[in-house]
Amino acid sequence: MLNKKVSDLLNDQINKELYSAYLYLDMSNYFERRGLNGFANWYMIQAQEERDHAMLFYRYMQNNDCPVTLGAIAKPDKVFKEDMDVLKAGLEHEEYVTASIHTIYDAANKVKDFRTMQFLDWFVKEQGEEETNARDMISKMELFGSDPRSLYMLNQELAARAYSAPSLVLD
């Protein structure tokens, strides 16, 4: 049985990951309306990945005989006036999720829950990649976003992104 504090944080993380999926779906929705289908594709794949993350936390808890309580998922309430607002909200959100993962790690560390720490290692690395991706998007948009032709090319590049299942698999 997992420590109460650790299991509560893991349970909250399921909700946070599902909220992330919902937020990225809303970002995809924004770009769909803009006619930028490549950007919409990129954020739709982000949403899929977030659902995968939620399921990994869910599976980890089930595998450790830890009761899961599902709560309401908040409404994505960010207002996007322009493309860059979406990209910046993406980075801000990933930084928030990184801090959340680190909080769980810290709680697991305090009670010498090595199994949970090892499980979280994958997420610590993943969050580093998510933040890099979000920063790259901002850099590209700063460089190319104001020129319609370049924006078109960037949109084509993002349209090519394909979904792949997470490398972490819990049976």
Q: Name the residues that contact Mg ion, by CB under 5 A.
A: 17, 50, 53
Cα separation, 135 vs 52, whole angstroms = 22
CB of 102 to Mg ion, least distance (A): 13
Residue 93: left if φ>0, alpha if ψ -120 to 50, beta else—which one? alpha
Q: Which is nearer to Mg ion, 82 or 129 (CB)?
A: 129
Q: Which is nearer to Mg ion, 86 or 154 (CB)?
A: 86
CB of 150 to Mg ion, least distance (A): 30
CB of 156 to Mg ion, least distance (A): 26
Q: Which is nearer to Mg ion, 17 or 113 (CB)?
A: 17
Best CA proximity match to 80, nearest among 45, 43, 38, 41? 43
Phi, psi for residue 106 in degrees, rounded to 5: -60, -45
Residue with smallest beta-carbon separation from Mg ion = 53
